[in-house]
């Protein structure tokens, strides 16, 4: 697992951004950038080079699912590993995320070990 990978974390809740950043730090990921909504994330993705996106589902005005669809539709970004985080564990949400091309899915609450496992899965299969 390449810990120098540039990671973009996306959440409209500042506390959650801080939690995810701290978990990534525990996992020794230091190249972490934040976006507070899907539109800001898309702009950053198109402007930079990221090896992983970790995004919340429930955001306004652009949801994590909408962001995922935009990323998958963009020729340059379509292969970027994308982990969706949500408080919703409903089957239809998981199915919708899978259909849109999500790399992995985390249901809140989660810990560093859960995050490590999901990141290892998507970065070793990238």
Q: Write down the domain spans for the chain.
A: 7-124
Query: DSSP letter string over 42-63?
Result: HHHHHHS--SEEEEESS-SSS-
User: Which residues of the chain register pLDDT less than 50?
Assistant: none
The per-residue pLDDT for 22 is: 97
The per-residue pLDDT for 89 is: 78
The per-residue pLDDT for 88 is: 78
SS3 117: helix
CATH superfamily of 7-124: Response regulator (3.40.50.2300)
The per-residue pLDDT for 90 is: 85
CA distances to 12, 15, 28, 58, 99 from 5, rounded to whole Å, are 23, 23, 10, 25, 26
The per-residue pLDDT for 122 is: 96
The per-residue pLDDT for 124 is: 86
**Global pTM value:** 0.96
């Amino acid at each position: 697992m390449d810990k120098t990978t540039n990671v973009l974390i996306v959440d409209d809740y500042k506390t959650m951004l801080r939690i995810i950043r701290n978990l990534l730090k525990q996992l020794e990921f230091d190249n972490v950038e934040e976006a507070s909504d899907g539109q800001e994330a898309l702009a950053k993705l198109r402007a930079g080079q990221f090896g992983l996106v970790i995004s919340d589902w429930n955001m306004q005005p652009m949801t994590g699912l909408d962001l995922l669809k935009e990323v998958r539709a963009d020729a340059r970004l379509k292969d970027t590993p994308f982990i969706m985080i949500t408080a919703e564990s409903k089957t239809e949400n998981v199915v919708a995320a899978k259909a849109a091309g999500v790399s992995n899915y985390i249901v809140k609450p989660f810990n560093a070990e859960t995050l490590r496992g999901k990141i290892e899965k998507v970065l070793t299969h990238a």
